[in-house]
């Protein structure tokens, strides 16, 4: 059973991951930070994919590495993306049918934020319903916040190219409702949604 299925069916607790949100937590497998496709090859084959195999879930290891590529911490103790003035104020969420989870990159875990299914607020296009992984990016709504989000979702694109996954970044979402549901304040808002999964064959 993969992480998304586990989160959907039961939720998990893990003492190794301290929950800043005070909710249930799920420790992810340690991401593999070496190997994969050469970066120039990944750039060359990177593409947006909207056709997903709805019956093939994303396993825990792949989910961990996808999130790590977007907003994790590398072997040098640095974020996997650059942030202006080292602000590091982007937030990354994973949506499931039974709740929303916050990705804690420093501890490599998911922390339960709420029990709501927010996927319908992103599903303005039919293919979204077939995607097994839903990433939601939030940041301060200024040029730097949007740059941070762009760096994060591009890293996911490159990891997906290397891994053989399909992914696409999306702006056709109810960002105002999502921002409200997540309780974002101080100029932060939901910027974009990214679907990830194995391509339909």
| 57 membership: H or E segment, kind and range | none
Using an 8 Å Cβ cutoff, are 102 and 109 in contact?
no
**Cα separation of 107 and 104, whole Å?**
6
**Cα separation of 201 and 193, whole Å?**
24
Strand order across the 188-197 sheet: 25-27, 109-114, 99-104, 91-96, 133-140, 188-197, 166-170
Q: Which DSSP string corresponds to 82-106?
A: --GGG----EEEEEETTEEEEEETT
| pLDDT at position 31 | 98
What domains are there in the chain, each with its CATH number? Answer: 3-197 (3.40.109.10)
| pLDDT at position 170 | 98
Which pLDDT tens digit goes with each residue over 113-149? Answer: 999 999 999 999 999 999 999 999 999 999 999 999 9
**What pTM was computed for the model?**
0.91
| pLDDT at position 201 | 85
pLDDT in tens, the chain (201 residues): 665 655 544 444 444 454 455 689 999 999 999 999 999 999 999 999 999 999 999 999 999 999 999 999 999 999 999 999 998 999 999 999 999 999 999 999 999 999 999 999 999 999 999 999 999 999 999 999 999 999 999 999 999 999 999 999 999 999 999 999 999 999 999 999 999 999 998
Average pLDDT value for the chain? 92
Tell me the torsion sign for CA atoms 25, 108, 121, 4.
negative
**Cα separation of 44 and 192, whole Å?**
24
| pLDDT at position 23 | 81
């Amino acid at each position: 059973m993969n992480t998304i299925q586990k989160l959907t069916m039961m939720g998990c607790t893990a003492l190794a991951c301290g929950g800043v949100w005070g909710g249930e937590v799920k420790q992810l497998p340690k991401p593999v930070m070496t190997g994969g496709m050469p970066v120039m090859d990944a750039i060359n084959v990177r593409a947006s994919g909207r056709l997903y195999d709805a019956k093939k879930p994303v396993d825990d290891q792949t989910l961990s590495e996808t999130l790590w590529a977007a907003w994790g911490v590398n072997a040098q103790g640095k974020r996997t993306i650059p942030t202006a003035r080292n602000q590091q104020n982007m937030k990354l969420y994973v949506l499931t049918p039974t709740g929303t989870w916050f990705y804690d990159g420093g501890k490599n875990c998911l922390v339960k934020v709420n029990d709501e299914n927010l996927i319908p607020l992103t599903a303005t296009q039919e293919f979204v319903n077939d995607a097994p992984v839903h990433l939601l990016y939030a940041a301060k709504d200024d040029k730097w916040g949007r740059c941070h989000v762009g760096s994060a979702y591009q890293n996911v694109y490159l990891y997906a190219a290397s891994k053989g996954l399909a992914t696409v970044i999306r702006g056709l979402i109810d960002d105002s409702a999502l921002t409200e549901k997540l309780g974002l304040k101080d100029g932060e808002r939901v910027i974009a949604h990214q679907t990830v999964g194995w391509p339909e064959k």
